[in-house]
Amino acid sequence: MKTTADADEFLALQARELMIYVDELVRRHIVTRLDSTAFETLSRQDAVTIEALGTQGPMLVKDVAALIQLPLSTVSSAVSRLCARRLVRRQTLAADRRNIQLELTSTGAKVYAAMLGAGLRTARTVLDALGPAERSTLLAILQKAMTAERLDC
């Protein structure tokens, strides 16, 4: 009979295994998305910032930080790098000069489109390796896991 300690240890092992798989998928997803060598040094924080602005449109820096769940200081550093690469534009709002609005430049929008296209290709590759029933099961499990994660926050 398994003890609670054995069950906890097994769950910890499975959690590490899941983390490895997810990290590898994310690494492949980000690396594959960046076809241009000009963007090969784009960090994970830079990529999620571009993704947030690409999906949501212009946003305040603080709202980007809240959406991608990173500290404001981390997002500010990413924004500085992205502005230097001319992928993101900063604008101080006249109504409240403490608020900085961000938006993708035309080059940033092209990078986002390339990231999105490659992300969809990656997802398709993962799903192509599975049968129809396995795809449905995987998506149901991921949906359940994401719901549990949101409730835990």
Number of residues written out for the chain:
153
Residue 2 resides in a domain: no
**Strands 88-92 and 100-104, sheet pairing:** antiparallel
Residue 3 resides in a domain: no
pLDDT digits (tens, 9 = 90+) for 29-79: 655 555 554 456 788 899 899 999 999 999 999 999 999 999 999 999 999
Residue 69 resides in a domain: yes
**CA separation, residue 98 to residues 58, 60, 90, 91, 92 (Å):** 16, 10, 12, 11, 7
Residue 4 resides in a domain: no
Domain count for the chain, please give it: 1
pLDDT digits (tens, 9 = 90+) for 102-117: 999 999 999 998 888 8
Q: Which of 82-91, 109-118, 122-131 has the highest mean pLDDT?
A: 82-91
Name the packing angle between helices 44-56 and 72-84 (round to 10°).
90
**CATH number of the domain within which 97 lies:** 1.10.10.10
Q: Is this prediction's pTM over 0.85? A: no
Q: What's the domain range around 25?
A: 10-152
Residue 1 resides in a domain: no
